[in-house]
Amino acid sequence: MNVLHLGNETLRQKAVPVEEITDEIRALVSEMFDTMEKEEGVGLAAPQVDRSIRLFVVKADDGVKRVFINPQIIATSQETCGYEEGCLSIPKFYEEVIRPERVTVQAKNENGRRFTLEAEGFLARVIQHEYDHLDGILFIDRIAPDKKEKIEQKFLKHAEKKEG
């Protein structure tokens, strides 16, 4: 699987709900974990692999593989914290992003079982980052406009050189 990069329109679309959890969806989940690990990421959203559906996978610092299908963030903490984020869709660029420290999310897993997860720290951050992808939001949208513009220009300039 190829990971889409900044500039691809799919990354900016609001993803549609998964209608039914099929063998095809489970195969996609498996491929996404393989791609995420190959790219040395900790999370990967379906829009990043050109599938505009509400699904993402995570394997954060606890090493547990988690699948989120049609997730909904139902609560976030008042307390926030900053942490340097990167993204497989904007490789080699990192910037501090302020996000809530804790998050509660409801979703289904690859077997269609509903669950509610309360996460904090790094896992909460990864969940929020991947959830943003489902709404067409990239981490650079959550930083100062001048920093965002600088990253976009550098990234797209670098991408043009690669293609040329």
The domain containing residue 155 runs over which residues?
9-163
User: For 56-91, what is the HEC assignment?
Assistant: EEEECCCCCEEEEEEEEEEEECCCEEEEEECCCCCC
CB 56 within 8 A of CB 71: yes
At 156 the pLDDT is 82
In this prediction, residue 138 carries a pLDDT of 98
Average pLDDT over residues 28-42: 97
Percent of the chain residues past pLDDT 70, beyond the cut:
97
Reported as a single tens digit per residue, the pLDDT across 36-69 is: 999 999 999 999 999 999 999 999 989 999 999 9
Residue 133 in domain = yes
* CATH for 125: 3.90.45.10
Question: How many distinct structural domains can be found in the chain?
Answer: 1
In angstroms, the CA 74 to CA 72 distance is: 6
As beta bridge partners, residue 116 has 106
Residue 139 lies in a domain: yes
- Is residue 64 domain-resident? yes
Residues classed as catalytic = 130
Does residue 3 belong to any structural domain of this protein? no
- pTM for this structure? 0.95
Phi, psi of 104, rounded to the nearest 5 degrees: -115, 125
Does 142 map to a domain? Answer: yes
